[in-house]
Every structure is written in C-alpha cells, then in structure tokens.
Amino acid sequence: MGLKGIPKIISPELLQVLSAMGHGDEIVLADIHFPSASICRNGPTEIRAD
C-alpha cells in the first residue's frame, strides 16, 4: 500500500529529499544529458530515476 495521493513513480528517496528541502533550495528535473555528476559534487543530492 502506498501513500494516498502520491504516485508510485515518486521514489521514497525523492520524497525524503523533497521533505528536507528548505527556503532557497532548488530542484532540477533533467534528462540524461544534464551534467549532474559535475554539479552535484559540492553538496547537492543526485537522485537517478533510471
């Protein structure tokens, strides 16, 4: 049984990161060509959905 109103495609890891976000935090939804590995070295969290 999943959470009411939350699509199954949203992973628990993504829900945790979204709940931990605060004012000024940003989220990027990008395709495979976005250079997330080089950008996410200094603190941001990378969550892959593939």
Catalytic site includes residue 33: no
Task: Name the residue among 17, 19, 13, 16 with its Cα closest to residue 49.
Answer: 13
Which amino acid does the sequence have at 41?
R
Active-site annotation holder among 23, 33, 41, 48: 23
Structure tokens at 49: 């959905």
The catalytic site residues sit at: 23
